[in-house]
A = this chain, B = another copy of it.
Amino acid sequence: MTVLLVHGDREYLRNPGEELQTDLGVLTVPEDVQPGDVLATHLDEEFTVRRLRGPDLFHHFERTGAPMLPRDIGLVVGETGVAAGDRVLDAGTGTGVLAAYLGRIGAEVVTFERKEDFAEVARDNIEMADVADAVEVRTGDVTENLDELGEFDVLTLDTPDAAEVVARAPDLLADGGSLGVYAPFVESARDVETAARESNLDDVRTMETIQREMDFDERGTRPSTSPVGHTGYLTFARKT
């Protein structure tokens, strides 16, 4: 299990057996390290051991592109209702944060990434998030593998050809199962929604989400003057 070694504002990622060398001194992470342990360097500086949590993944995952934001991952979880024990088909993997989150909430995930080098990075990230048992990263194009994959409780898609998979959703989804598709452009969101409607899925809807941080200062309260911009459209549908 990869752990975080924390000293004040500083945190370092290490595996059991690895060494940490900083200006605060040197320490070796014990093989049986546990969250909550306190490790001292040879200069007697202390580091607290912490396990990685969801928000840590965004800082420590190696990136192969812009990872999906916590808010969009959350919206996918909230709207699909994915739960522990669910089988999830995910494509494309990218940095792997969505797949890791799904693994962390107990789902069994098969995720497809077309590029072998990206898939390799994603596998390392999944390992780091301690969910390698739950998340299988396959290299390849999901659309070429749809016949052999079996049935899923939830589909999560973030690929240019998502509409093609959505057209097959009635075969891929268990009764009551849901899909969530992330599309950065309105044209692709339109294709996805159209495919969902033509497949006779239910509760088809495409949403865009605008979030603003609030500024609370002594002069008063207002939405931030520097908000987060558009991320993507999210299309949801269900087989009922």
Contact = CB atoms under 8 A, between A and B. Distances in A.
Interface of A: 4, 6, 11, 35-36, 48, 50-51, 53-57, 69-84, 101, 104-106, 153, 175-178, 184-190, 193-194, 203, 205-214, 216, 219-227, 229-233, 238, 240
A187 B187 CA distance: 9
Contacts of A224: 229-230
Contacts of A78: 54, 69-75, 77-78, 101
Nearest to A220: B185
Given A54-B80, A175-B6, A184 B233 contact: no
A227 B8 CA distance: 35
Contacts of A190: 214, 216, 221
Contacts of A56: 81, 176
Given A206-B214, A230-B227, A81 B106 contact: no
A210 B53 CA distance: 27
Given A55-B81, A75-B74, A213 B223 contact: no
Contact of A188 (B72, B193, B194, B220): B220
A84 B55 contact: no
A108 to B, nearest CB: 12
Contacts of A82: 54, 105
Contacts of A4: 176
Contact of A229 (B177, B227, B240): B227
Contact of A207 (B101, B184, B213): B213
A4 B57 CA distance: 37
B83 A105 contact: yes
A238 to B, nearest CB: 7
Contacts of A74: 74-79
Contact of A214 (B54, B189, B203, B238): B189
A74 B55 CA distance: 14
A77 B53 contact: no
Nearest to A232: B222
Contacts of A101: 78, 81, 83
